[in-house]
Amino acid sequence: MIRPSDFANWQEYYFTYQNILAKQYLIPMLEQWGVSIDGKKILEIGCGSGGVIEAFAERASKAVGVELNPFDYTKLNTPKVQYVTADIYDPSHRERYADKYDIILFRDVIEHLPKKKEAFEICDTLLSENGVIFITFPPYYGPYGAHQQVFSKTFLGKLPYTHLLPNSLYIKYVKTVEKGNDAALQVAHELIASQTTIGSLKKSIRASAFKIDRYDYYLVRPSYEIRYGKKPRKINLMKYLPFIREFFVLGMYMTMRRK
């Protein structure tokens, strides 16, 4: 378990957390599902602090991280990853990372994207013929579907299910209990706009060029062991309980391939 207080700043902590998560959980998960990492071209959309794509880059032939928010990646001092600050929806930026990738990663990013149909169409142009898309996300109706356990700095802000209040009331709640915490407010607005549930994401996938290949539901996500010392726990019984799972699943992990 690692704590933010053990690091000089949030970025250093978050990079380390992402890196451990990728090496100890995400890469082994993909390999268990028959997805090879070695020598592959890998693109991460929404790479954040770079910790995940840096872990994949150690075994990839090419690794690219695309991030909307500006970040000084030169501090990472690594030649293994090409970082691009860009909006994936903006076609004028796409030539900066255009290629045919074997793996495209959305690590807790898809829930921030309101235009999923367009996002999957973009992926269709970037993915190799036999490529794989790997998605992880917390379903919106789950206990922490608004990421409040991550971005909130107060006890009241971290309470589960508060994001299920009426939208305007939840925004007022965040503004009240998280005064001055612009990150928490921004995330609240993004996730309210998207409201990505298991059902809605599956619907978007069915309308795309892709199909779900492998997936697992988690009651305790792998990231919780790194951040809170809690062992990961799958809850795949929820595969048979379509309505109830929306409120109890904390994380869905899946691979997609072309139909």
Annotated domain spans of the chain: 4-139+196-258, 148-194
- pLDDT score for 77: 64
Q: Write the Ramachandran bin of 161: left for phi over 0, alpha for psi from -120 to 50, otherwise beta.
A: left
- pLDDT score for 241: 94
**Integer Rg of the chain from CA:** 18
Q: Please give the structure tokens belonging to residue 64.
A: 């690219």
- pLDDT score for 149: 75
Q: Mean pLDDT in runs of 10 for the chain (259 residues)?
A: 89 93 98 98 96 96 94 77 94 94 98 95 97 98 88 79 94 87 85 95 98 97 94 93 95 98
CATH 1.10.3720.10, applies to 4-139+196-258: no
Taking the C-alpha atoms of residue 56 and residue 58, their distance in angstroms, rounded to an integer, is: 5
H helix or E strand, kind and range, residue 216: strand 210-220
- Helices (H), ranges, 6-115: 10-21, 27-32, 51-57
Taking the C-alpha atoms of residue 187 and residue 146, their distance in angstroms, rounded to an integer, is: 7
Nearest alpha-carbon partner for 107 in 71, 41, 56, 159: 56
Nearest alpha-carbon partner for 120 in 46, 208, 195, 193: 208
Q: pTM of the full predicted structure?
A: 0.94
